[in-house]
Chain A
Amino acid sequence: MSQPTLNQYETVKYSRIYSLGAARGDLTVTNDDIAGPIDSSDEWIRQRTGIITRRRASKDLSLMDMAVSASNEAIAKAGIDPSEIGAVIFSTITHPHQTPSAAALLADKIGANPAPAFDISAACAGYCYGIAQADALVRSGVAKYVLVVGGEKLSDFIDPTDRTISFLLGDGAGAAIVGPSETPGISPTVWGSDGSHWDAVGMSASLLELRDGTAQWPTLRQEGLTVFKWAVWEMVKVARQALEVAGVTADDLSAIVTHQANIRIIDELAKQLAVPEHVVVARDIVYTGNTSAASVPLAMHALLESGEVKSGGLALQIGFGAGLAFGAQVVVLP
């Protein structure tokens, strides 16, 4: 008796981002609002970070609320039915449960149940990691449409007296629908990690230390200068590599959307990349703050909404942060 031949997924040649959705915290927090506990000033914070205000969520606005709102916008703009979503990928470091995942709840809330759903922990690189996975799932035929969300309620994990990172942080969620395409819409991803700097940015303590009473509520911390150096000079190499594997040059881009870590990092990266004048450099951080996994889709969404860039143009997107982890790809703007 001969063994039957197995079915395998039928592959799809290309994928693209169909649409984006965005949700920001409902509160506008000024530098003066937070300068006191870090013995700082509006001027100092603007000069060091470029941030004028950051958006944070009030107590009653949860991470899930923002993720649902951003996802519903992306689904509506993509013109698909949520039941067609074949996978939900949620990148977050601020879902307050170790398990179950934020993605499974999100899938249910947006009408994508029983889609496979999972979280990824790649911090500020998480959205780009998610796009890489969505691209692979769509082109391999595993899923027709994939919802990728980067969302954070970082204000739950900050220490108002911390001078290293807390004052940068905001809350929000960005969502993208990725699906099949007739033409190439997502370049190969340049991504990776460097665990030799595992403790350069992350939580101040583990949950076990909290349980044992040897630590307070864990909050975010970073070694700012080490991270700055890596984020500029190592990420410039990653950005150049992403352009190369995409088969384009900086001249071909409409926009560069980096993780909105700090305006000094964004400006220095743009300088090192010698970005041509016609390329828009996303600076959503100025009024949104650093929203970790949400920052790339929020910044891209803002550029599209304001008309600064047009659908169909090319954008280099690059996320980098705790891990250390990084991911970059060139995408066709939805």
Chain B
Amino acid sequence: MALSQNEVLAGLAEIVNEETGIATEAVQLEKSFTDDLDIDSISMMTIVVNAEDKFGVKIPDEEVKNLITVGDAVNFIVAAQ
């Protein structure tokens, strides 16, 4: 069954926390990965691969640059399920 936006956000926050140590509560929809969370491109790719695994979706490399905010990533994953 497809996960809701909140469920994907919670799962993604765990992945971000695992990779960067950022508190899960800080991972909110409107936060920018680079400007607010200070996540660099290599960590971003690690998060993407872990998200693909966790949610069973495919996030193409060329799509990663369009995922500016946490909300962008959550919405992409929700739609791709």
Contact = CB atoms under 8 A, between A and B. Distances in A.
A119 to B, nearest CB: 32
Q: Which of A224, A225, A228, A232 has the most CB of B within 10 A?
A: A225
Interface in B7-64: 40-42, 44-46, 48-49, 61, 64
B42 A48 contact: yes
A225 B46 contact: no
A232 B64 CA distance: 17
Interface string A223-259: 1111011001100000000000000000000000000
B1 to A, nearest CB: 27
A233 B61 CA distance: 14
Interface string A212-230: 0000000000011110110
B45 A229 contact: yes
Nearest to B19: A268
Contacts of B64: 225
Contacts of B48: 229
B45 A228 contact: yes
B46 A268 contact: yes
Given A225-B61, A225-B64, A264 B42 contact: yes
A47 interface: yes
Nearest to A229: B45
Nearest to B64: A225
A223 B61 CA distance: 10
B61 A48 contact: no
Contact of B49 (A224, A233, A262, A264): A233
Q: Which of B42, B46, B48, B64 has the most CB of A within 10 A?
A: B42
A229 B41 contact: no
A224 B64 CA distance: 13
Nearest to B44: A225
Nearest to B46: A268
A228 B40 CA distance: 13
Contacts of A47: 40
Contacts of A232: 46, 49
Nearest to A44: B40
A48 B44 CA distance: 12
A210 B11 CA distance: 50
A225 B41 contact: yes
A237 B40 CA distance: 25
Nearest to B48: A229
Interface in A134-191: none
A245 B28 CA distance: 45
A273 to B, nearest CB: 15
Contacts of B45: 225, 228-229
Nearest to A265: B42
A224 B40 contact: no
Nearest to A225: B45
Interface string A34-49: 0000000000000110
Interface of A: 47-48, 223-226, 228-229, 232-233, 262, 264, 268
25 contacts: A47-B40, A48-B40, A48-B42, A223-B61, A224-B41, A224-B42, A225-B41, A225-B42, A225-B44, A225-B45, A225-B61, A225-B64, A226-B61, A228-B42, A228-B45, A229-B45, A229-B48, A229-B49, A229-B61, A232-B46, A232-B49, A233-B49, A262-B42, A264-B42, A268-B46
Interface of B: 40-42, 44-46, 48-49, 61, 64
Given A225-B64, A264-B42, 13 more contacts: A47-B40, A48-B42, A225-B42, A225-B44, A225-B61, A226-B61, A228-B42, A228-B45, A229-B49, A229-B61, A232-B49, A233-B49, A262-B42
Closest 6 A-B residue pairs measured CB to CB?
Answer: A264-B42, A225-B45, A226-B61, A228-B45, A229-B45, A233-B49
